[in-house]
C-alpha cells in the first residue's frame, strides 16, 4: 500500500511513498555518496544520488535514477551486513516538497492498568525494544525496531493503535526543517533580485530576502495588486490561474480586455510578472505569487479625467496595492488638485476595509532630482512626490545606487533592479515573437519600472499576512525595515534617510518578521532565519557571515544550524557571536578525519553550550566565524541559520 493514514497528535495525516527515494542508516559510519552506497550493496552499477543527511536519525536519503529499481535496491540493503535501518521516504499530504523519513523509532503510550509484563509482551509481538521511559508522559516509552521486526514503523504504529491496551502509538518521523521557501520555477535561479548568494556581477544579499519572507506568506488571492500600465499578455502561464485576474480594465479601448494593442505594449506584462507571477514550476515567480492581479491598461495620456478614472476604478474594485511604473513625460509636472485629491482618496479610503490602497510610483530613470534643477531644467515629479505615495528608487545587483535612478529627500525606499555595472532583471514577456525579445520571458528588464512592482509585491505580502494594516502603516513598516545599503558616513541623515536610497533597500524578511511580532505579542514564537552563502573556506583562513535578527525580544530557546562541505572537518573551528557580544565555540578540532559538518546545535539539547544566551536580547547581528586551522584540506560553507524562540 503506497498511502497510509496515521494519527499524529490529535490530527490525521496522510503519508504517501515517494517512488524513487529511500533512506538508510548504517550500523557504523554513513553512506553519503553513490560510491559508498554501492560498496554496501556490493553492486557497482546502481545509479543513485545522495539528497540529504537526516542528522538526528543518522540516516541518509538517496534517489534512484530508475524508480523501478527501488524495491530491489531496498531489499538488497536490508540483507547487507552493514545496514541497520532501511526505510521508504514519504510525502506528507501528497506534498512532494515535504519529505518525511521514519527513523525506526516509535512512541507508545499504554492505557492505565496495563502492567509491565503485558507491556513487554505487546512490544515483543512487534519486535520492538525499549529505548527509554518518557518521564514527562505517563506510561509512555520510546521504542525502536529490531531485527525481529517484521513490519515498517508506520504499519506497526497503525497496528498498535488498534490494540485495546494501547492509548497512542506514533512512528517517529523526521521532517526537513523549513527555514525558507524556494520555488522550483525553471528561471528562479536567475531571479537574483529575490535571493542570491553572490557570483559574477552579484553581491551576496543584494536582494529582497524573499525566501525567508515566504515562510510567513506567499500572498493571498484575497489581496489584489493593481498594475496600471500599457498592456498585459493575460495568456501568459505565469499570469494565469484560478482567481488570478480580477477586475481587468482597458482605458485605451474602453473595455475589459487590457491586452497589448500596440507593437510596443510590452511594459505591463514585465511589471506584472515581477510583482505576482505564479509559482507554477516553470518560468519566473513574483514576490507575491499567490496575490491576485488587477491589470489596468492606461490610455497613454494623463489628464484630470484619465487619472481620476484610473484610481476610481481601483477604489471601486477594492484594489489593495497600486503599482505605477510611469510618470509624466514632462520633467516639470506638478499635480493638479484633482489628481492630488483622487490619489489621496485611494490612499486613505480605498480597499474593501477602507484602510487605504498602498500606492507606489517609480522614481524615474534620468538620474535627476525628484524636485530640483539639473542642467538648468526644472525637475518636479508630482506623482512620486505625493505624500501618500511610496516613491521607489533602484539599487543594482552590487547593492549600489543604479546609475540612472532619480534621487531626492522624498524617496521612500529602493528595490533591486538593473544598473551599470550589474545584472538585469528576468521577468515575464509577451508570448512568442512579440515583446522585448523572442520567447516568453525577457532577460533584460530594469529601471525603476522594475523596482516599483517588486516593492508592490512586498506590500501585497504584508497585507496578505495582516489585512488590517492601513496604507500608512505598510509604508512606515516598509521604510523602518529597509536595509541601509552603502552606509558610508553622511550617506544617511539623522532620521536614517538617504537621498539616493530613501530609507534603504526593501527587506521582505524583516518586514514580515516585524508584522509577526506585532501580531503575536502574547504568544511564544520561533523565528527561523537562514542564509545560503556557498562561500569557500580558505585553507588556514577564516570567513565571517552575519544574520540580522529583526525582532526586539529576549531569547527563551535557541538553535543554530550549519551545513559545511569539507574534506577534513577536524580542521574546523566555528564561533558564534551574539548581538550582545557573547562568543560561543560550537566546534573546535573535533571529528577527526570525517568529512563535512552538517549539524544543529540546540539550547534544549546542549544547555552547557548555549545556555548563556537564555534571557539575552535577540535583536541585532549574529555572526558565525568559520576557521580552517590546518593545511591541505578545504571546504565550503553552504548555508547556516538560527532559530530564536522568544
Q: Which residues are catalytic?
A: 229, 267, 449
Chain centroid, CA 321 distance in Å: 21
Smallest Cα–Cα separation from 41: which of 17, 87, 75?
Answer: 75
Cell of 192: 537574483
| DSSP code of residue 212 | H
Q: Please enumerate in sequence order all residues whose Cβ is within 8 A of that of 199, keeping only pairs 6 or more positions apart, or say none.
A: none
**Using alpha carbons only, what angle is made at residue 377 by residues 376 and 383, rounded to the nearest 5 degrees?**
150
Residue 482 has, within 13 A of its CA and on its CB side, a CA count of: 33
SS (H, E, C) 493-543: CCCCCECCCECCECCHHHHHHHHHHHHCCCCCCEEEEEEEEEEEECCCCEE
Grid coordinates 529505548 are at which residue? Answer: 131
- From the DSSP assignment, how many helices (H) and strands (E) are in the chain? 13, 29
Measure the CA–CA gap between 485 and 548, rounded to whole angstroms: 14
Exposed e or buried b per residue across 411-444, where buried means at least 16 C-beta atoms within 10 angstroms of its C-beta: bbbbbbbbbeebbbbbbbbbeeebbbeeebbbee
Contact assessment for residue 596 and residue 636, using Cβ atoms and an 8 Å cutoff: no
572-577 and 358-362 beta bridge pairing: unpaired
Amino acid at each position: 500500500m503506497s498511502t497510509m493514514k496515521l494519527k499524529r497528535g490529535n490530527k490525521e495525516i496522510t503519508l504517501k511513498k515517494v517512488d524513487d527515494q529511500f533512506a538508510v542508516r548504517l550500523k557504523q559510519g554513513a553512506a553519503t555518496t553513490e560510491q559508498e552506497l554501492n560498496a554496501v550493496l556490493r553492486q557497482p552499477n546502481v545509479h543513485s544520488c545522495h539528497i540529504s543527511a537526516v542528522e538526528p536519525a543518522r540516516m541518509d536519503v538517496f534517489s534512484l535514477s530508475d524508480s523501478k529499481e527501488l524495491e530491489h535496491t531496498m531489499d538488497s540493503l536490508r540483507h547487507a551486513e552493514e545496514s541497520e535501518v532501511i526505510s521508504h521516504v514519504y510525502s506528507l499530504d501528497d506534498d512532494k516538497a515535504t519529505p518525511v523519513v521514519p527513523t525506526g523509532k516509535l512512541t507508545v503510550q499504554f492505557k492505565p492498568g496495563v502492567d509491565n509484563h503485558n507491556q513487554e509482551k505487546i512490544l515483543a509481538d512487534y519486535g520492538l525494544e525499549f529505548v527509554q521511559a518518557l518521564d514527562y508522559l505517563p506510561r509512555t516509552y520510546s521504542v525502536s525496531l529490531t531485527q525481529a521486526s517484521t513490519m515498517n514503523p508506520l504499519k506497526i504504529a497503525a497496528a498498535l493503535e488498534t490494540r485495546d491496551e494501547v492509548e497512542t502509538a506514533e512512528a517517529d518521523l523526521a521532517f526537513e526543517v523549513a527555514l525558507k521557501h524556494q520555488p522550483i520555477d525553471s528561471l528562479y535561479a536567475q531571479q537574483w533580485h529575490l535571493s542570491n548568494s553572490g557570483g559574477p556581477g552579484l553581491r551576496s544579499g543584494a536582494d529582497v530576502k524573499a525566501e525567508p519572507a515566504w515562510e510567513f506568506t506567499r500572498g493571498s488571492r484575497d489581496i489584489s495588486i493593481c498594475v496600471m500600465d500599457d498592456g498585459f499578455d493575460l495568456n501568459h502561464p505565469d499570469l494565469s490561474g484560478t482567481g488570478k485576474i480580477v477586475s481587468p480594465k482597458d482605458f485605451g479601448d474602453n473595455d475589459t480586455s487590457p491586452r497589448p494593442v500596440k507593437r510596443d505594449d510590452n511594459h505591463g506584462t514585465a511589471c506584472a510578472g515581477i510583482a505576482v507571477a505564479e509559482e507554477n514550476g516553470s518560468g519566473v515567480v513574483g514576490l507575491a505569487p499567490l496575490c491576485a492581479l488587477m491589470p489596468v491598461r492606461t490610455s497613454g495620456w494623463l489628464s484630470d479625467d484619465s487619472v481620476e478614472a484610473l484610481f476610481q476604478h481601483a477604489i471601486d474594485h477594492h484594489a489593495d496595492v497600486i503599482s505605477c511604473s510611469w510618470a509624466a513625460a514632462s520633467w516639470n509636472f506638478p499635480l493638479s488638485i484633482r489628481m492630488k485629491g483622487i490619489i489621496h482618496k485611494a490612499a486613505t479610503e480605498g480597499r474593501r476595509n477602507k484602510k487605504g490602497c498602498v500606492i507606489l510610483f517609480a522614481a524615474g530613470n534620468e538620474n535627476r532630482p525628484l524636485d530640483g534643477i539639473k542642467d538648468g531644467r526644472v525637475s518636479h515629479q508630482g506623482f512620486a512626490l505625493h505624500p501618500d505615495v511610496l516613491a521607489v528608487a533602484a539599487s543594482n545587483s552590487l547593492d549600489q545606487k543604479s546609475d540612472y535612478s532619480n534621487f531626492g529627500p522624498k524617496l521612500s525606499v529602493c528595490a533591486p533592479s538593473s544598473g551599470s555595472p550589474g545584472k538585469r532583471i528576468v521577468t515575464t514577456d509577451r508570448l512568442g515573437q512579440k515583446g522585448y525579445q523572442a520567447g516568453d520571458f525577457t532577460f533584460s528588464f530594469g529601471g525603476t519600472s522594475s523596482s516599483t512592482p517588486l516593492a508592490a509585491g512586498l506590500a501585497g505580502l504584508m497585507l496578505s499576512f495582516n489585512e488590517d494594516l492601513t496604507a500608512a502603516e505598510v509604508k512606515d513598516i516598509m521604510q523602518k525595515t529597509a536595509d541601509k545599503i552603502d552606509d558610508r558616513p553622511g550617506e544617511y541623515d539623522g532620521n536614517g534617510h538617504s537621498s539616493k536610497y530613501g530609507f534603504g533597500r526593501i527587506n521582505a524578511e524583516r518586514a514580515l518578521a516585524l508584522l509577526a511580532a506585532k501580531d503575536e505579542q502574547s504568544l511564544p514564537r520561533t523565528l527561523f532565519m537562514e542564509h545560503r552563502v556557498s562561500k569557500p573556506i580558505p585553507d588556514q583562513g577564516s570567513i565571517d557571515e552575519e544574520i540580522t535578527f529583526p525582532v526586539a525580544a529576549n531569547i527563551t530557546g535557541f538553535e543554530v544550524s550549519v551545513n559545511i562541505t569539507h574534506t577534513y572537518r577536524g580542521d574546523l573551528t566555528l564561533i558564534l557571536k551574539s548581538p550582545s557580544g557573547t562568543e560561543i565555540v560550537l566546534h573546535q578540532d573535533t571529528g577527526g578525519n570525517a568529512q563535512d559538518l552538517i549539524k544543529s546545535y540546540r539550547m534544549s539539547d546542549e544547555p552547557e553550550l548555549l545556555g548563556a544566551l537564555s534571557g539575552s536580547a535577540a535583536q541585532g547581528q549574529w555572526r558565525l566565524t568559520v576557521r580552517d586551522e590546518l593545511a591541505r584540506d578545504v571546504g565550503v560553507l553552504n548555508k547556516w541559520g538560527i532559530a530564536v524562540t522568544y
